[in-house]
Each structure stands twice: as structure tokens, then as C-alpha cells.
Structure 1
Amino acid sequence: MFELAALAYLIDLRFGEFRTTHPVVLMGRFIEGYEGRYYRDNIRSGAILIASLLTLTLIVSLSIVYACQQLPYWLALPVLAVIASMGLAMHMLHASVSELLTSKQPRQALRYLVSRDTETMSDSEVYKAAIETWAENLSDGVIAPLFYLVLFGLPGLAVYKAVNTLDSMIAYKTDRYLHFGRVAAKLDDLANFIPARLTALLIILVSSDKKRAWQCLWRDADKLESPNAGRPIAAMAGALGVALGGDAMYHGRLKTKPALGDAIVPVTKTTLSKALSMKTPIDFTILGLLAVGFLLS
């Protein structure tokens, strides 16, 4: 699967999102449709939704693989790679976060990337939130999909995207979703356990200050409520010599969160630019590892 993953990654880097209905959008519509008709404030109702979506996703992805297996290999590989590239988000993630560097209204641009309130943020808080989004989504949008693509092919990637979509839509600790989305939250934590740690190691590997990045990861990775999000964020904080995390406003309410990293330098637009500049070494490292995997397989 290494050659499939490498080609899919290259396609994403070059073309990004294709102008077609994205599979995640279809998954979202399925979730909304189920919730609208069958929502119940209990764990069982949410679990049935998860089982239904994952089963449907697996059937569709296996059918696509089967159809491609009827084609000659030289044609099947690029077809599968194009489809798989739709589950990768490096191009879109980097482009979306980079918009804050040139936007005349960075708070408005940030609002589309985070769930926290952005209207009253200082410039430093805006760039800090963007860096956190960049670090955390390197795991969810890039490393995790590649990880499952390499292990299980297109079905593995598709099922992971379904799990991640469920988490983004119903795994909230609100009155409506506390029970309904509990299984989705736990499943997403499990699915991202290894990828989040691989992402943190990747950030350290491309960092100019590997020692500090490792020290911050070791010290701060478990400070956040999420068992996974703290890994890449702590590593990124150490790599940049800044403090990330901290209190933030969500839907008009202040949420107290610990700081990760050390405030050696302030968080500015330059800091965000430095974080985003990691993309090229990350790309080369990923492609290099996939090439080594292909040669050894």
C-alpha cells in the first residue's frame, strides 16, 4: 500500500480538493439524516448510527476496490490514488491556515478553522489558535489517514474518515450529545492514539530545536483533556519556543485550559509563518518514509 499512499499524497499536494461532492460531505449528510429521524438521548442510538455509517462506508469502499481490481494495475493504481487523495488534507490545511498571514481580517479567517469565539481575540491569540489548528490537524487530516491507508488500503482510510466525521459532528459534551456522541468520541480517541504520537515525533524530527520540542512533548503532552491533541501541540510549542493552549472562549463561555510549551518568544505572525514552513520538510519526510516502506515491502 506504500505506493498507493505516496501517489495519493502527491496528488493531494498538487491538486488539493477536487471540485466534486466530497465523501466527507456525504458522510455528514448521512449523520444529519439519521440524527433528524432517529436521535435519542442515549448511548445506544449513537452507537447504531456509528455502526450504520461504518458498515455503509466499508461496503462502498470495498466495492470501489473490487471494481478497480478488474482494471489493469497501471490504471487501477492511479484511480485508487485519486480517490484516496480525497481523504488527505495537507494541501487544504496548509492553504487554509496560511490565509491568516495575508488576510486583512485574520479573526474572520480563523473563525472558519476553529470552534472558539474569535471576535475578541488579540492578534497573538489569533496566531496561537492557528498554530494549534495546524499542529492538531496534521494528525487528523494527514498522518492518521495515511497511517490507515498504508495499513488497510482505501477501506481503512474511508472508515477512519467516517470515524473522524462522526467525532466532529456529534462528539460534544453538551446536553444533546453527551450520551448520543459518547461512543463516537471514544472511537475517535482510539483511532487517533497512534497517529497523534507519530505526528508529534514527525514535528520533532523536522524541528530546528529537537531537544526542546522533545522536552515539551514529554512534559506537557498529557495536560489537555484530549488524550491525543496535546501530543502534536506540545511538540509544536517546543519546536517554536512558544506557549500554546491556555484559556479560550467557546460559545460565550470561558474554558480554562493549561498552557503547553514555554513562552520563550511571543506568538506573532512570524511564529505562524515559521510553523507553516515545516510543511516542506514534513512532505519530504513522509514521502521518504513511504519510499523506504515500498522498497522494503
Structure 2
Amino acid sequence: MTQLIASLAEISAPYDVLYCDLWGCLHNGKALFPEAVAALQAFRAKGGTVVLMTNAPRTRHSVKKRLDQMGLPEDAYDAIAASGDATQVAMLQGAAGRKLWHLGPGKDEDLFAIIPDWLQDQPPIERVELDEAEGIICTGPFDEFNETPEDYRGRFLSAKTRGLKMLCANPDLMVDFGETRIPCAGALAELYAEMGGEVLQFGKPFPPIYDLARSILAEKGLSYEPDAVLAIGDGVRTDIRGAQAEGIDALFVTGGLEATRFGADVAAPDAGLLDSWLASEDLHPRYAIGRLR
């Protein structure tokens, strides 16, 4: 049975590390949630380590730049593990070939521009049009506010017929940008896979991003058993299923993507509605909370 809690501090004592999602937990794409920021600061003040684990299809450098712009204090976290970083490694190592069609907006340019030192010796990636491509790297729709996955069905049919592999840099299906819900790369990847295309994914709930988080902690001289780690997130198919697969406890933030399922008060989800829905989805987070605080 999932335990419904009022604050992170109630249950944080047994944990040394938080894997904390960003969008829907710490911010809404436009502004930070002050209570969530304070919760992370309090956890670190007591000696805990916070890894911001995000399915953003960009490198940690770009993620940090955006968080700085939003005003996130440096004492709220220790490191960033981004799906974009995990995807970039596979891309530069040639997992989908060297000539790639980049399906995504210009804001994801850092995947091609900011190359880690240990990958500088890899042959260059050439971005080409779809008809010349050996593979696809998908970071989202070109126009995430006006397009849907169906807009790409024709191009995907051509790519699938040619056997092009897709690297998906963000397994999320959608996010809420303020009050607007927009599709992510995961929705495009889902359609491509349904059409018979081959897709490789690197963010939550897939292993590469958890391997990345552990390697980041190891670089800091830190190593933890799974029972010392708590994953926090609002994405049931990403954050919660990923935590279950990794054998770590999860705190489900109900007031994010699934907010409308659990009653009128987003900050105080109805326990009965929550339990019945989790059971129907075969989800078993140890804890749940309306908003991270």
C-alpha cells in the first residue's frame, strides 16, 4: 500500500540520495515551485545528496543554464543526470550511424556542440536531411506547440522502410509547459515503434540514465546501495516504473501529469482514488505526495 505523506521530511531519514525529477516536480517549465526547492535544500542540509534526474533531451550544461535562469539555488542539488547526456554518448559512438536526421527544435543544439573530452576522438556526426540519413536522433517535434506525432507519420514510414534506427533523447510522452500540455520525443518514438521502426531510449525508465547517475556519484567518490536511494517524480511510466525496475523506492508526485485523477485539491490527493488507480496500473510507489514540499 502506498503511503500518502504531507512532506518529504516525514520519510527522508533512511535515504542518502534523491533522484529528483524536474518538470512537474521542481518546476512547470516556466517557474520553480518554492516549496519543492526548500525540500531539496533541507535534505542536503542534513547531509543528503540530490541528483536532478531529467529526461530533458539536452546536456546537463544546457539544463543547468536553464535552471540558473529560473533562479534555482546551487545549494538545492549536487549534480544533474540528463537523458540528453546518455543519448549523446550513444550518438557519438555511432549507435545509429554517422549521418543523422535530427528531428527536434533548435534549442537542443548543444547535443552536437558540447562534446565531452573523453568523446572528442570519435568521428564527427554529420546532420543531413532524412533522405540522406543513416539514422535518426529525436529530441522532440520541430514545433512542439503546434505539431503532433501524426504530422510525422509519412516521414516515419519512409524511415522505417529504409530500416533507420531512432535514438530517442527523451522518453517522456508529454509535459506541461505552464498550463499547456506539449508532446515530447517519447510520443514520436512511440509512434515510430508502433509502425515497426527500431527505437533506442536512454532516459527514465531505461537503464542508461541510472547508470549515468551512478557514474556521476562515483566521480564524487560516492556509492550507495539501492535501499539508500529515493526516486521522486510525477511520471508513472518514466519515474515510477524506472524506480521499480532499478529496485529503489519511489515518491510519486500526484500533482503533476496525473493531477486530475485524484480529486479537486491537487495538493491533497484523495487516498481512495489514488490507491485504486495505482492498483489498476500495477504501480507500487512506496510513497505519494500532492506537491513536493
For the aligned pair, the TM-score class normalised by the smaller chain equals: under 0.3
Q: TM-score, normalised by structure 2?
A: 0.28
Q: TM-score, normalised by structure 1?
A: 0.28
More strand by share: 2
More helix by share: 1
